[in-house]
Amino acid sequence: MFKKSIQIKLEGYVKKYLRKHPDIKLVIVTGSVGKTSTKVAIGTVLAERFRVRLHEGNHNAELSAPLAILGIEYPENLRSVGTWLGIFKAARQRIKQPSDVDVIVQEVGSDRIGQVPRFGKLATPDIAVVTAVSPEHMEYFISLDNVAAEELSAANFSKLALINRDDIDGKYAADLSNPNIDTYGTSAAAEYHFLDGDFTVVDGHRGGFVAPEWDEPVEVKVHVVGEHTLRPAVAAGAVGVKLGMSASEVAKGLEKIRPVAGRMNPLRGVNDTIILDDTYNSSPLAAESALKTLYNLTAPQKIAVLGSMNELGATSAEEHERIGKLCDPSQLAWVITVGEEANKYLAPAAKARGCQVKSFKTAIEAGGFAHKVLEQGAVLLFKGSQGGIFLEEGVKVVLHSTEEESKLVRQSPKWLADKQAYWSQL
């Protein structure tokens, strides 16, 4: 009851703030995967022209979106009355002050049915970006149709929407009622897309960004790894075009995009190896995309360290087995699994395909084994979720230098203590 009353109070402040400052553009990002990378990419591009506000974290609770829109830090102690009184005072001051931003880029996450539609009662975004419809929090959503209805609701309550053409099944077009919708992606079927040219792990992708508003593609460089990581950049370019940015501004912004920590971030490993750090979270779509990226790289040895994918409910066994079947023995020297679901379902499926497989309870054990078997110049993919998996700790074992640990996710003292406490119970 306390949390609900706080939420209602904050939503009221947001409504007043947006009414008081109608010049501020609101861009929201929702979808099953890729929200944070897309949000940060959009902010990076828009910063070439606009004053931008975005919260780089990814609190997906009902309280976080209003606080982020108002530019107020998420409190550590949610039960402190004094803290909330201070926040309410800061919100009232924010409403009275002149606008300090031109564009707010807000991530809107959902782990329960109805959370995204509720945001539509809070504000009418100028642009909604929907990144994907794929299995997520299936213990609550039950079916992919429910996921689609949740995520695509953002397109319907916004003035304009940009939909990922590559990661949303066309059958869900039936869920869309907004006539002002465009698509983005890496395939030419999308109105906004990327013509991939040259690629290296170090420098990323060089190619052309295509926008229907422009006569010719604009040459750009995007410093990310993998086709699926290009899509957030394309979304960012599309938002920039919609908000009136020039081709040169968009190109400069796209070149400044870098991977977010734990999202296909290339790191230097021991023995001249490359680590693809994709440890922030995992889902079937993201795991499949990460494996495809690994397969497209040239290296003397490739190793996939795959953790359990959490929050899949009744679909967990099927989805883990499917990812196991995608493990290609002609591509992978080793498949290393971590976590109960990955060990129980993914590992046997990968073995059945002919892969060498080793399973562990903890990320540190997995990292130690990877260090033992890796060869000079290898590429290692670490793909996992947070709850009980924490593959970033396995990455530490094969990093070239401890200085690189600052680039990993979940390294605060609290996170490190939580992880240690979890492992001590195993």
What pLDDT, in 10s, does the model give residues 125-148? 999 999 999 988 888 899 999 999
Q: Which of 70-84, 251-265, 304-318, 355-369 has the lowest mean pLDDT?
A: 70-84
CATH 3.90.190.20 domain extents, the chain? 265-424
Q: What's the confidence (pLDDT) of residue 81?
A: 87
pLDDT for 190 beyond 70: yes
pLDDT for 59 beyond 90: no
- Which residues of 49-158 form beta strands (DSSP E)? 52-53, 103-107, 127-130
For the domain made up of 265-424, give the CATH fold. Protein-Tyrosine Phosphatase; Chain A (3.90.190)
CATH 3.40.1190.10 domain extents, the chain? 2-255
The rounded Cα 265 to chain-centroid distance in angstroms is 12
Distance CA 291, CA 303 (A): 10
What pLDDT, in 10s, does the model give residues 169-183? 999 999 999 999 999
With cut-offs at 50, 70 and 90, classify the pLDDT of residue 63. confident
Distance CA 300, CA 30 (A): 38
Q: Are 48 and 253 in contact (CB under 8 A)?
A: yes
Q: What's the confidence (pLDDT) of residue 1?
A: 62
| One-letter amino acid for residue 73 of the chain | E
Question: What DSSP designation does 303 have?
Answer: E
Mean pLDDT for 65-81 is 88
% residues pLDDT > 90 (the chain):
86
Mean pLDDT of the residues in the chain = 94
Query: Cβ–Cβ contacts within 10 Å for residue 80, how many?
Result: 12
What pLDDT, in 10s, does the model give residues 84-132? 999 999 999 999 999 999 999 999 988 889 999 999 988 999 999 999 9
Q: What's the confidence (pLDDT) of residue 60?
A: 53
Mean pLDDT for 202-229 is 95
Mean pLDDT for 232-261 is 97
With cut-offs at 50, 70 and 90, classify the pLDDT of residue 4. confident
Residues 6+ apart with CB under 8 A from 279: 262, 307, 382, 383, 384, 390, 391, 392, 395, 408, 409
Name the pTM for this structure: 0.94
pLDDT for 2 beyond 90: no
pLDDT for 57 beyond 80: no
Q: What's the confidence (pLDDT) of residue 150?
A: 94
The Cβ-side half-sphere exposure at 163, using a 13 Å CA radius, reads 24
pLDDT for 58 beyond 90: no
Q: 2-255 domain in CATH 3.40.1190.10? A: yes
